[in-house]
């Protein structure tokens, strides 16, 4: 927070009015909010795509399993004999598979991956609007107009408050993935002919080397923590 202040006057009937100082939001804090908003938007997009993919895959598997089990149920004894099993054994296997399919269907309903994907999709839309406002308000010199900082901060915190939370146990992994993607994107612009997998490996090796060589204290820092 910046040490600069502005003064507002509160008028209360019957009381003497005194100026009330109000802290202004620093440009560095707005920079941080803009950076975090972009990162959060990308992480929510990853979670959205993950849950949508899980929902589609589970639905396809359940439908395919149901069709196969129905066809086995209608099959006669000759069909099971061709498979090298008796009709009783085939019926038992189909019954067990049907129960497993039913349990999986109930589990899919309880997990509700489609609903989670929609919640993260809504969060992506909210933070997309926040990022858009930040970009529109930013000056050519990279600073933020004082009169726009309160509105930008309010929009940032409103999106954070109303959006689905990111699981804590996945946050660091998703953050690393986002930062790696950003670095690989920069390298891809400079070296468009280089395969992406080489750029990814190069980024990992570069950062590991920099950490180990960082003043000779990188690994000592890990041991202390």
Q: How confident is the model at residue 130 (pLDDT cuts 50, 70, 90)?
A: very high
Same domain, 49 and 16: yes
Same domain, 182 and 161: no
Give the pLDDT mean for 65-82: 79
What average pLDDT is seen over the chain?
Answer: 83
Same domain, 123 and 213: no
Same domain, 211 and 117: no
Same domain, 105 and 32: yes
Domain boundary among 142, 166, 190: 166
pLDDT: is 24 or 136 the higher one? Answer: 136
Domain of 17 in residue numbering reads as 5-166
103 backbone dihedrals φ, ψ, rounded to 5°: -60, -40
pLDDT at position 154: 93
Domain boundary among 135, 166, 197: 166
| Residue 45 burial class via C-beta count within 10 angstroms: exposed 0-12, middle 13-18, buried 19 and up | middle
C-alpha to C-alpha distance for 188 and 200, rounded to whole angstroms: 10
Same domain, 152 and 178: no
C-alpha to C-alpha distance for 185 and 200, rounded to whole angstroms: 10
Residue burial 80-92, b: 16+ Cβ < 10 Å; e: rest: beeeeeeeeebbe
| The two structure tokens encoding residue 142 | 């990279």
Predicted confidence (pLDDT) per residue in 1-40, tens digit: 443 444 444 444 554 544 444 567 888 899 999 999 999 9
The helix/strand/coil state of 8 is strand
Same domain, 153 and 179: no
Domain boundary among 166, 188, 214: 166
Same domain, 157 and 179: no
Q: How confident is the model at residue 85 (pLDDT cuts 50, 70, 90)?
A: confident
Same domain, 77 and 153: yes
Predicted confidence (pLDDT) per residue in 156-178, tens digit: 999 999 999 999 999 999 999 99
Number of domains in the chain: 2
Same domain, 155 and 188: no
Same domain, 56 and 158: yes
Same domain, 50 and 133: yes
């Amino acid at each position: 927070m910046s040490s600069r202040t502005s003064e507002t006057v509160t008028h209360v009937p019957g009381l003497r009015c005194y100026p009330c100082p109000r802290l202004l939001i620093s440009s560095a804090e707005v920079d941080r909010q803009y950076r975090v908003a972009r990162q959060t938007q990308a992480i929510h997009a990853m979670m959205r795509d993950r849950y949508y993919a899980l929902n589609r895959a589970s639905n396809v598997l359940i439908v395919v399993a149901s069709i196969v089990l129905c066809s086995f149920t209608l099959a006669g004894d000759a069909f099971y004999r061709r498979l090298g099993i008796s009709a009783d054994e085939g019926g038992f296997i189909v019954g067990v598979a049907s129960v497993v399919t039913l349990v999986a269907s109930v589990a899919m309903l309880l997990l509700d991956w489609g609903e989670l994907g929609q919640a993260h999709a809504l969060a992506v839309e909210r933070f997309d609007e926040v990022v858009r406002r930040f970009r529109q308000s930013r000056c050519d010199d990279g600073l933020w107009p004082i009169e726009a900082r309160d509105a930008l901060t309010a929009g940032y915190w409103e999106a954070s408050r109303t959006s689905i939370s990111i699981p804590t146990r996945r946050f660091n992994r998703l953050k690393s993935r986002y930062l790696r993607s950003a670095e690989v994107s920069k390298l891809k612009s400079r070296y468009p002919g280089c395969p992406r997998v080489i750029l990814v490996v190069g980024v990992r090796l570069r950062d590991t080397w920099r950490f180990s060589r960082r003043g000779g204290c990188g690994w000592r820092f890990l041991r202390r923590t």
